[in-house]
Amino acid sequence: MDITAENRAFDGRQIVATHASEACQCDMTFGLYLPPQAQDGPVPLIWYLSGLTCTHENAMTKAGAQAWCAEHGLAMVFPDTSPRGTAVADDAAYDLGQGAGFYIDATEAPWAPHFRMQSYIADELPGLLSANFPLDAARQSIMGHSMGGHGALTLAMKTPGRFSSVSAFSPICNPSDSDWGRKQFTAYLGADADWEAHDAARLMRQDGIDIPVLIDTGTDDQFGDLLRTEALAQAMAEKRVAHSLRMQKGYDHSYFFVASFIEEHIAFHADALWA
């Protein structure tokens, strides 16, 4: 692992690092914010999964999370959204290929050799972080935006006991029943695969979730029909899951929306992580 950039931020460290990934078979980059409290010992960690077209850098520079992480004594990691490089398969569309990993493990050509984002986020990167930084592996939460909200919700349900809380901004809630999902799942997994295993609404309907859930979506989100928020809301109601789902009046899908409510999301996770 090579630290390629480091900046002081709110008396903590904003790091960017690159490493050779076994899961993705290419070099991967992530951002990591360590609050000032990390100088005295391990701190809890929030995972932030970004959306389509993003890299590790978008939320790291636009969401405004560092000030609130420093206030609550929490680290935050910003992984990339997909494998990258000249040897990695890609597509001309913005919603497939590099920048659009969907946090699943691809099984179909030409994606299977590199597009293993579920394994990368769930298994490989946690080990790398724990081995190199002062992080409390027993205290982790996860959040995400759009495609990353899909990833946060599904990973929280696929790995029960790992996360203390989960939140999402404008998550893709029901990808197997929308254009944001059917295209990608067909390409990455095949038409006959078990798509329900990667669908937040369907996973919620099957098993529910027993950690705190916070979801914010804007009433003016330009992708509202693709998100299918109502499917997840119905599933949580059917399973009687304790949650807060807020429709924020006038907000869209942008990082202006994320930055407007990031303080509340970090405070939500702090309550769970320091409980």
Residue 253 bears catalytic tag: yes
Active-site residue, selected from the candidate residues 50, 56, 221, 269: 221
Active-site residue, selected from the candidate residues 114, 150, 253, 265: 253
Residue 146 bears catalytic tag: yes
Q: In DSSP terms, which residues pair with 116 in a beta bridge?
A: 105
Question: CB burial class (10 A; 0-12, 13-18, 19+) of residue 92?
Answer: exposed
Active-site residue, selected from the candidate residues 50, 146, 167, 176: 146
Cα angle for residues 60, 66, 68 (degrees, 5° grid)? 135
Annotated catalytic sites, by residue?
A: 146, 221, 253
